[in-house]
Amino acid sequence: MRGESQVIKLINIFLDGLVSVGNDAGFTGDSVLAKMMEFGGQPPRGSGMDQSNLSMINALNLYRDKHYEFPIIERIVWRLLKKPVTAMYITALLVDQYYHGINPNSKNEKGEEDFRAYNESDKVALWVKHMAEQGVRQPMGLVYDDALRVYRYGLKSGKRLVRRDLGYERKQ
């Protein structure tokens, strides 16, 4: 079980490294769009006291490096994404760990938003979609029960593949 939790931790490090803005040096306040909305569609006027150099110095103080294990898991994930079969497995693992929380596309029987969390069938649909985006069409031809079976198998195999490659990476 320790190996499985280590794989999940590394996958989360990888996903965090991809989507996190914590390692971007730059403006940390509202975006330009948020400021435009706040000022009624008009760009805010400058104060006449240009503080851009001070702002950049402060932003550099907020810069954080990516997690020290990010390069290891990044190499493993990209290597596994190169082959269609291993791509199916690692993508299942990435989908399972990335999609948590409220599903913004969920609807009830009446077609109204119902604000429910992602469930396994949502994740299977997203996995099939992401596989199609990668050019791997095999999951698209599966009926739901078969897609669910392959997705679940992908979760197990993806963890096993990462563990195997992790041992290889750490030996080098």
The reply to whether 40 and 81 lie within a common domain is no
The reply to whether 128 and 89 lie within a common domain is yes
Q: Judge if pTM exceeds 0.75.
A: no
The reply to whether 56 and 99 lie within a common domain is no
In a domain, 117, yes or no: yes
Domain of residue 37 covers: 32-62
The reply to whether 79 and 140 lie within a common domain is yes
In a domain, 88, yes or no: yes
In a domain, 25, yes or no: no
For the chain (172 residues), the mean pLDDT of every run of 10, in chain order, is 83 88 54 61 62 67 78 94 92 94 84 87 92 85 91 94 83 60
Number of compact structural domains in the chain: 2
In a domain, 24, yes or no: no
The answer to whether the beta carbons of residues 13 and 73 sit under 8 Å apart is yes
- Beta-carbon contacts of residue 99 (< 8 Å; ≥ 6 apart): 118, 122, 123, 126
Type of residue numbered 75 = R
In a domain, 100, yes or no: yes
